[in-house]
Amino acid sequence: MNIQTPAIKSVEDFLRWNEGREGKREFVSGRIVEMMTGGTERHAELMMQLGFVLKTVLDQSRFVVTGSDYAVKTPLGVRYPDVLVTPREASSAISLASARPILVAEILSPSSLATDFGEKAQEYTALDSLHHYLVLSQDEPRVWLWSRGEDGAFGKPEMTAGREEAIELKGLGIALALAELYRGIA
């Protein structure tokens, strides 16, 4: 059986077409890209823990913390990061994607390593609103953090490892202890 998809020419076309569909996909450079579903328990737990910690420490009247069901509009299309922090705006409560993320986070999987450090890093750090791009290892307490500098540019990522360490998210005015992010995660 052949299934034909309508002509999808824009981010808005894709978001409307994709809403409520089973499976995961992103829209990159005019192409629909099928995504992996069914990650590991550790990946899911770390994603939830990061979201929980961010919701706990951030002012909920100013920020919204979401998971991988809410999209980010990038210069090349639409991505669904594992965790996302956006400004709270009444007009965006029913939107399908944010054009103004402040923090984007991805949890590494063997299949996503090259994409998370390559094209996603380039797409996310090209967003004017973004302050931080965070990539977390699911295998050990290790994170890579891209932060916007005072000159407005992103430098190379800083790697931090070990449960005793913390990462500073200056754009959000907080620090996250790796011991808290990785609590209970073997």
Would you say residue 160 lies in a domain?
yes
For position 90, what pLDDT does the model report?
Answer: 61
Q: Which residue has the tokens 């620090």?
A: 175
**Residue 117 host element (H or E):** helix 113-117
Structural domain harbouring 156: 38-181
For position 3, what pLDDT does the model report?
Answer: 46
Would you say residue 153 lies in a domain?
yes
Separation of alpha carbons 143 and 21, rounded Å: 32
Query: What Cα–Cα distance (Å) separates residue 176 from each residue in 22, 49, 69, 72?
Result: 34, 11, 23, 23
Side-chain half-sphere exposure of 24, counting CA atoms within 13 A: 13
Q: Identify the three-state secondary structure at position 67.
A: coil
For position 26, what pLDDT does the model report?
Answer: 79
For position 2, what pLDDT does the model report?
Answer: 45
If we measure between CA atoms, which residue out of 89, 87, 83, 52 comes closest to residue 69?
83
Would you say residue 148 lies in a domain?
yes
For position 13, what pLDDT does the model report?
Answer: 81
Per-residue pLDDT of the chain (186 residues; tens, 9 = 90+): 444 566 888 888 888 887 877 878 878 888 888 776 667 889 999 999 999 999 999 999 999 999 988 999 999 999 989 999 999 986 666 788 999 999 999 999 887 788 889 999 999 999 999 999 999 999 999 999 999 999 999 999 999 999 999 999 999 999 999 999 999 886
Would you say residue 27 lies in a domain?
no
For position 40, what pLDDT does the model report?
Answer: 85
Would you say residue 17 lies in a domain?
no
Would you say residue 100 lies in a domain?
yes
Query: DSSP assignment, residue 7?
Result: P
For position 6, what pLDDT does the model report?
Answer: 64
Would you say residue 172 lies in a domain?
yes
Would you say residue 18 lies in a domain?
no
Report the domain count for the chain: 1
CATH of residue 53's domain is 3.90.1570.10
For position 33, what pLDDT does the model report?
Answer: 80
